[in-house]
Amino acid sequence: MSRLPETRSTTRRQDHHHGPGPAHAGLPARLRHALIPHSHDHGDAIRTAEEASSIGLRAAWISLAGMGATAALQIVIVALSGSVALLADTLHNLGHLATTIPLILAFRLGRRAPTRRYSFGFRRAEDLVGLLIGAVVALSAALIVGESVRALSGDRAMTHLGWVLAAALVGAAGNELVAIYRIRAGRRIGSAALVAEGQHARTDALTSLAVAIGVIGAWLGLPWIDPLIGLMIAAVVITVLITSMRTVIRRLMDGIEPELLDRIEAAAVAVPGVLAVEGVRARWSGHRLEAELKLELPSSLDLTEAGSITADVETALHRELPHLERAGVLVSARPGPQGAAPRA
């Protein structure tokens, strides 16, 4: 047999056939699937870039409609009542509306084919939008602090308290539904930007509940509670902002979760015929994962046998990592264990 030379193989995720989907279920099941995507295990997660982008776009559009309706209701009641806490919550909702549209554009841009200038494609636009989300949320936090400080230093009466309470409870419910939907969809497709938007929506749900507390304080003759709740909202917003931006910036710097590299190594070395795995690298590009690794195979193998093992490794990687879009596999040879027989 000829000695195995160093070769390289690159594979991309191919579309897989899926069984009957929500279209074959009843109307209640289809509505539930559309609004609240379920968590999936590795065998049932999204495995194609096209399907992942479609889910991301659907999540953005549905949440845009939900948060738009909530913000419109809150704007009217803020004008009537003068509630600072409700104004803070409304500003944060408007910030989400401002950042969801660029997120939709980023998902669409990520579908474009690579070009000579952008040879890796355009999925990084999704992470850039994550930075925009952070900037808008930081601005909303600054506005909240300013309004709260002015309210604490002056005498600002609240009116229409019943309507403010109703708006706060509706806002809490609506934002939590949007948060559940965005976070589940974002985790399902591996989108840090979509998860960040979901976390911000969850913050809005919590702050809406805080607005309700402010209303109760006003009813009890303690109007200072309302701007104080506004300052607490700003603190929560900043905390969530820092957490979510860490993930976005790490991805822009090609940072990767170490456990993903461990899973790549374990999946590859478990394939029969692989002696060792070296040089494992991976990075996120938007909501898709790219990986590179080097396999050491017995030098007694011929090219056909080495190609078969490489194909098995690629299959194992795609099975273990549903978000994997591309795997670059470099193959080198070294003498195998004594008495090792060539792969059949």
User: DSSP readout, 148-207?
Assistant: HHHHHHS------HHHHHHHHHHHHHHHHHHHHHHHHHHHHHT-HHHHHHHHHHHHHHHH
pLDDT at 244 over 80: no
Tokens of 7: 């070769």
**Terminal Cα-to-Cα distance of the chain (whole angstroms):** 13
Q: Which two tokens stand for residue 341?
A: 């027989």
pLDDT tens-digit series, residues 214-223: 778 777 877 7
Higher pLDDT, 108 or 93: 108
Give whichever of 166-175, 266-275, 319-328 has the largest mean pLDDT: 266-275
CA atoms of 24 and 30, how far apart (whole Å): 8
CB-CB contact of 67 with 201 (8 Å): yes
Higher pLDDT: 99 or 2? It is 99
Tell me: the pLDDT tens digits for 255-288? 888 899 999 999 999 999 999 999 899 998 887 8
Global pTM reads 0.60
The one-letter amino acid at 162: G
Instruction: Please state the length of the chain.
Output: 344
In 20-124, which ranges are continuous DSSP H helix? 27-35, 49-81, 84-110
Asked if pLDDT for residue 314 goes beyond 80, the answer is yes
Of 72-86, 125-139, 183-197, 304-318, minimum mean pLDDT range: 72-86
Token pair of 288 as six digits: 């898709």
Q: For residue 85, which of 178, 139, 161 has the smallest C-alpha distance?
A: 161
The alpha carbon of residue 313 and the mean position of all alpha carbons in its chain are separated, in whole angstroms, by 27
Question: How much is the pLDDT for 172?
Answer: 82
Mean pLDDT of the chain: 75
Which has the closest alpha carbon to 148: 79, 96, 89? 89
| pLDDT number for residue 90 | 76
Asked if pLDDT for residue 17 goes beyond 60, the answer is no
What the block records as the tokens of 240 is 């969530």
- In this structure, are residues 309 and 271 in contact, taking their beta carbons and an 8 Å threshold? yes
Label residue 46 by pLDDT band (50, 70, 90): very low
Residues facing 334 on adjacent strands: 298
Tell me the C-alpha to C-alpha distance, in Å, between residue 142 and each of 4, 56, 149, 237: 63, 29, 11, 10
Domains and their CATH numbers in the chain: 1-32+254-344 (3.30.70.1350), 36-252 (1.20.1510.10)
Of 55, 87, 85, the residue nearest 71 (C-alpha) = 87
